[in-house]
Chains A and B, each alone.
Chain A
Amino acid sequence: MPMTRREFIKFTGLGLAASSLGVLGFGASGVAQAAAVRPFKLTRATETRNTCTYCSVACGILIYSMGDRAKNARSNIIHIEGDPDHPVNRGTLCPKGSALLDIVHAPTRLRTPRYRQPGGTEFKDVSWDFALDRIARLMKEDRDQHFMTKNTAGTTVNRWTSTGMLAASAASSETAYLTWKVVRSLGMVVFDNQARV
């Protein structure tokens, strides 16, 4: 029987629901309800292929979101599971990957730029413009003051050591490349990423 992946999910979803609900004594009505609810939830969702954000096994994942990507519809991620087509994880996920939905929707996800002033005891919300303007100004002041064009031997060295950066180990390669360009064009050498650990 040829089956699309989505039909397969419906089919197995039904099977699993049938067996577990049956054991719990829900009988035929429970099975019917499960058959209606479980596949329905995913049928209406938009499926997006992605990669687990944790370790470097890089398990394929399927992210299901509500919202059809229409201009004014805001997508909401409702479910994440292993990608059965992926040649390494073949649909499985570990205790961390299985809980990806909780990291996407963690209550401690940051929503607004925040600023803490010298000696301050709390953060206050600020605008992106305030944050980026101030950061750029602080960087320029420090760079202009401490940038070294030549060393004591008179060799051109063009480096900046008084401001540094640590780069993200879960950021995309494209983010990494753009970050590299910015950092090195400024002459920064105190520069590392999580691979150092």
Chain B
Amino acid sequence: MTNTWQDIKNANVVLVMGGNAAEAHPCGFKWVIEAKIENGAKLVVVDPRFTRTASVADYYAPIRPGTDIAFLSGVIRYLLEKDAIQHEYVRAYTNAGLIVKDGFTFQEGLFSGYNEETHSYDRSSWDYELDKDGFAKSDDTWQDPRCVINLLKQHVSRYTPEMVSRICGTPQDKFLHICDLFASTAAPDKALTSLFALGWTQHSVGAQNIRTMAMIQLLLGNIGVAGGGMNALRGHSNIQGLTDIGLLSNQMPGYLNLPTDKETSFDEYMKTKLFKPLRQGQTSYWQNYRKFVVSLQKALYGDAATQDNNWAYDWLPKLDVPLYDIIKAFEMMNNGQMNGYICQGFNPQQAFPDRGKIRRGLSKLKFLVTMDPLDTETSRFWQNFGPQNPADSAQIQTEVFQLPTTCFAEENGSLVNSARWLQWHWKAADAPGDAMSDIWIMSGIFHRLREMYRKEGGAFPDPILNVTWKYTDPISPDPEELAKEMNGRALADLTDATTGAVATKAGTLLDGFAQLRDDGTTASGCWIFSGSFTEKGNQMARRDATDPREQGIAPNWAWAWPANRRILYNRASADPDGKPWNPAKPIISWNGSRWVGIDVPDYGPTVKPSDGVGPFIMNAEGMGRLFARDLMVDGPFPEHYEPLESPVENVLHPKVRSNPAARVFADDRAAFGSPKDFPYVATTYRLTEHFHYWTKHALINAILQPEEFVEIGEVLAKEKGIDQGGWVKVSSKRGVVVCKAYVTKRIKPLTVDGKATHVIGVPLHWGFTGQARKGYGANTLTPSVGDANTQTPEFKAFLVNVEKTSAPTT
């Protein structure tokens, strides 16, 4: 989230699209109700189903799964055509006026630079024209046909209300009504907030779904302001934290990139990370990249990381492919390219697409380790549970270790919520039996490995032998010590650059990342967390809920990254002169000598408005991007592509039906079904009574929603002779689920390109362990293909067939 949960109450329009907050984030959703009651906000819901969020909406419109970009591009077209944008904001704070290279084109569904063979783009033409000083050329009058706003206008011109309706199945009048509501927030003192979740990410165009909305928010001047923003509600209690700390194939802590094969030395690595400003005088904060990397290496390798060995650069693994994501991992397993796999609190047998492929992959491993408080399906993939898990144990040669761990109530530590708050929690009891913490287990494995490498030698032991481990209790390091290591400390006396006086003594915990150096005199394991555990103590444990002006900031409750800033891009809440756009809800303003307000400025605290420094200080141009340059693999503008499994052709460009930059493995492509055999669109989702595959282990939740079902609209049910509560067989090219049907008014057929299109709802929570009744799980049906940028699986739009069947005999 750019903003906070409480800040939602400041919105004038709340859009929930790509999520179902009332059911999946109920206690956060109360702030939407607060906005409705206290601020007169209008709630708009766009969803294939009439969800509980929709049931309290002021306006609801249905949409076919997988067509959000068409809908939102239609909104952009509408806003530009009606001139319903916040002009001053767009002119000053976005790249609308920057001029794009001549070589950039878009024709027949493809951007310039496409390579048919590799299914990827040469993105060199996706950038600005530069002047002789290397700055982006611009035309502030927007007359130049090559400036971003004019290219955008041209790009979205195809998304007429007729076209939107034809693709999405949303009636035109409903679409236009929603456009009007969006447009009402172009006023400088009005804000729309976008609340979204996996309904946007789990598509082959997931990242572009979100980009399209972010562009709308920039056009409306809704980024950085109270009641605005792009708010990813996020799914799990520390999914934000694990992302922040870089537990992803290509990441290091604090959104630093793991090196690639091409970056043969530290200097080569740094060359692509210089972030030279693209306009004069811009902050381009990533220019400090080197300080963050060197400080990370000092945290990881201590005295062994030196200037002479390039801060142990060679000890970092290098990537030869963009990602070793989970879809690729299971592809490798199926191809016999992997031998071991460790699943820590993650249940891929249920949580990943095409469960059959997951089981076949795990079956080819030499060893599997699971670490979990619960008895997961993954740890029992080798056991025969009938049709829900038809495994032939004798044929599976995988050694399996099922390790019991503590749960949240049994450990100290911090979690990062969707609003980037690091909140500390405390242990209430010991774990049952011999269960141990993940910290103890990981340390135990590490110590054994290190000891073996010390005694026996082996492949490249240097990083293993040199990684820092100076914890008071090396067997089970104290979470506070780990938190301090992430925060960082001075390794030598740090002197003030101007006075030469010692500003920070050696050994002192740092106050923030501004103190980090690239000369090896500071260490910080996660630069964006710097400031979370200082000499003043554990800032994450703060519990002062005081909220200045009751505006939903609560600056002294826990601690938020970066720098305890609660609203990202908050410089954009004020106009170029530093006066708040919305005087009733200011966040920061310029008082003549510095920026003051209720939040930590996302800006140099004394940078004058007249200096012309843009509010998006992380970006090299200092501006919000309506044109993404070369930063997305599938285009600098979003474009509607059909899901990999779709009931219709792409009416915009029949030759390019689905995302041309999607990575699809041959066996996965062979497992895509056609609408002839699988005529219905399916989408997966959570129920409010359950959380993934965990709560079926909890008695109350298992009682509340005891068994697997799918939701089917009344029209289709009648057509297929399916009764309320009757048994159905739901099949995709990849598998079959036999379960009960819930016949509902909440899903109605959509008219897509003149044809009636039915949507099947597939709640995801079942499996074959726990206290609920045995089930298959939604991912028996889902396709193994991901978003072109992130490889997040396309769970939200695929094809199935549904038939009436009789009750299973067992």
Contact = CB atoms under 8 A, between A and B. Distances in A.
A35 interface: no
Interface in B227-272: 233-249, 252-253, 258, 261, 264
A146 B433 CA distance: 37
Contacts of A180: 245-247, 253
Nearest to A187: B317
Contact of B326 (A76, A116, A137, A197): A197
Interface string A172-184: 1111111111111
Contact of B482 (A96, A158, A165, A174): A174
A197 B352 contact: yes
A126 B141 CA distance: 73
Contact of B316 (A46, A116, A162, A184): A184
A85 B398 contact: no
A155 B317 contact: no
B690 A169 contact: no
A187 B326 CA distance: 17
Interface string B190-231: 000000001000100000000000000000000000000000
B131 interface: no
B160 interface: no
Interface string B444-468: 1110110011001011100110011
Contacts of B342: 163-166
Given A87-B547, A110-B374, A194-B239, A143 B459 contact: yes
Interface string A119-149: 1111100001001111111111011101101
Contacts of A102: 698-701
A187 B28 CA distance: 39
B6 A116 contact: no
B421 interface: yes
B275 interface: no
Interface in A70-121: 74-77, 80, 82, 85-89, 92-100, 102-104, 106-121
A56 interface: yes
Interface string B323-344: 0111011001000011111111
Contacts of B701: 95-96, 99, 102
Interface string B117-152: 000000000000000000000000000000000000
Contacts of B428: 46, 48, 50, 63, 65, 75, 77
B366 A138 contact: yes
Interface size on A, as a range, is 35 or more
A175 B437 contact: yes
A173 B240 CA distance: 9
A175 B245 CA distance: 10
A48 B456 CA distance: 46
Contacts of B413: 171-175
Contacts of A172: 238, 241, 411-415, 425, 479
A162 B340 contact: yes
A193 interface: yes
A20 interface: no
Contacts of B28: 55, 57, 88-89
A108 to B, nearest CB: 4
B63 interface: no
A168 B235 CA distance: 12
A169 B239 contact: yes
B326 A196 contact: yes
B573 interface: no
Contacts of B631: none
A139 B340 contact: yes
A177 B238 CA distance: 12
A166 B690 contact: no
A175 B438 contact: yes
A14 interface: no
A161 interface: yes
Contact of B341 (A111, A136, A165): A165
Interface in A14-33: none
Nearest to B342: A165
Contacts of B4: 88
Interface in B396-441: 396-405, 407-409, 411-418, 421-423, 425-430, 432-439, 441
B247 A54 contact: no
Q: Name which of A139, A156, A175, A189 has the most chain B CB atoms within 10 A of its CB.
A: A175
B344 A159 contact: no
A173 B412 CA distance: 10
A168 B483 CA distance: 17
A117 B393 CA distance: 10
A164 B699 contact: no
Given A107-B771, A160-B317, A164-B340, A193 B242 contact: yes
B346 A189 contact: no
30 contacts: A48-B428, A51-B415, A51-B425, A54-B694, A56-B234, A56-B418, A58-B418, A77-B428, A85-B545, A109-B697, A110-B433, A115-B399, A115-B400, A119-B396, A132-B441, A132-B445, A132-B448, A156-B314, A161-B324, A166-B341, A166-B344, A170-B237, A170-B415, A173-B238, A173-B422, A174-B413, A185-B467, A189-B324, A194-B235, A197-B198
Interface of A: 46, 48-60, 63, 65, 67, 74-77, 80, 82, 85-89, 92-100, 102-104, 106-123, 128, 131-140, 142-144, 146-147, 149, 151, 153, 155-197
The 8 closest A-B CB pairs, nearest first, are A111-B433, A168-B345, A172-B413, A110-B404, A58-B417, A163-B340, A136-B448, A169-B236
